Amino acid sequence: MFDEVVLQKVGGMLLCKRHTLAVAESFTAGLLQVAFTSAENASLYFRAALPLVMQNKIYASAC
């Protein structure tokens, strides 16, 4: 489902630079979290995911 080569490259770059990754998702509905946690050694760089719920509001037109 996810491009494993890309996930491995991103993970490798994060590890090489001693960086970590956290995401806040709304529109992607957690797919970034699923993608990165499916990668090998993800626990070494993936720290957290925060789902955001956006409230849709519809405003009446003044016209």
Please say whether the beta carbons of 49 and 32 come within 8 A: yes
Cα(39)–Cα(55) distance, integer angstroms: 32
Q: Domains of the chain: which residue ranges?
A: 4-51
Q: What is the pTM of this model?
A: 0.69
The pLDDT of residue 62 is above 60: no
For residue 58, the model assigns a pLDDT of: 55
Alpha helix ranges (H) inside 1-63:
4-16, 31-38
For residue 29, the model assigns a pLDDT of: 78
pLDDT in tens, 2-59: 899 999 999 999 999 999 999 888 777 788 899 988 888 999 999 998 877 766 655 5
3-class DSSP assignment, residue 60: coil
The 8-class DSSP code of residue 45 comes to: T
For residue 1, the model assigns a pLDDT of: 80
